Amino acid sequence: MTDASDKKARKFTPKQTYIPYTALTLDEDYHVCTYGDAASTLFGFPEISMLGKHVSQLLPDFSQGRANAPDRQSAPPQFKNVRMEARHADGNTFQVMVGLRQDYLHGTCRHLVLIRNLEERQ
C-alpha cells in the first residue's frame, strides 16, 4: 500500500526526462562559446568537444536561418524565431525552433541562440 506522499510525488514527476530548451552563446564568427549540460543532453555531444566549433555542426541550416535573423542595426535587440533542423551526436536529425539575438558587449559581438526541441513536446 502506498501512502499519500508517494501518490503526490508520482503525480508531479515528469512523464519524460528530457530537456526541451537550451541556450548557446556564439562569437562573431559563429563559434560556440558556451555549451552547457542542457545542450549536451539535447545534442548528445559533450561540452569539451563543442567549445570553439562552428554552430553548423549542431544546426546544419544555421547559415540559412541566420539570414532571417535581426541585422546589426536592429534596436532594441530582439529574438527572431526560425525553425531549423538540428543534428544529434548519433547522426539523427530533429526539428528545433531557434531564437537568434545579436548583442554587443564591450564592443564585442555575441550571438545568443535559444533552442527548443519541437519533436519532444509534453
pLDDT at 122: 44
pLDDT at 9: 53
Question: Which residue ranges of the chain lie beneath pLDDT 50?
Answer: 1-2, 16, 67, 70, 72, 74-75, 122
Which residues on adjacent β-strands are paired with residue 103? Answer: 110
Instruction: Give the CA distances from residue 37 to residues 34, 40, 47, 72, 107, in Å, rounded to whole numbers and listed in that order.
Output: 10, 5, 7, 30, 28
Question: Mind listing the pLDDT tens digit for each residue in 85-106?
Answer: 999 999 999 999 999 888 887 8
pLDDT at 103: 85
pLDDT at 63: 75
pLDDT at 10: 54
19-117 CATH choice from 3.30.1120.80, 3.40.50.300, 3.30.450.20, 3.20.20.140: 3.30.450.20
pTM of the model: 0.71
Report the C-alpha gap between 108 and 100 in whole angstroms: 17
- The secondary structure of residue 56, as a DSSP letter, is G
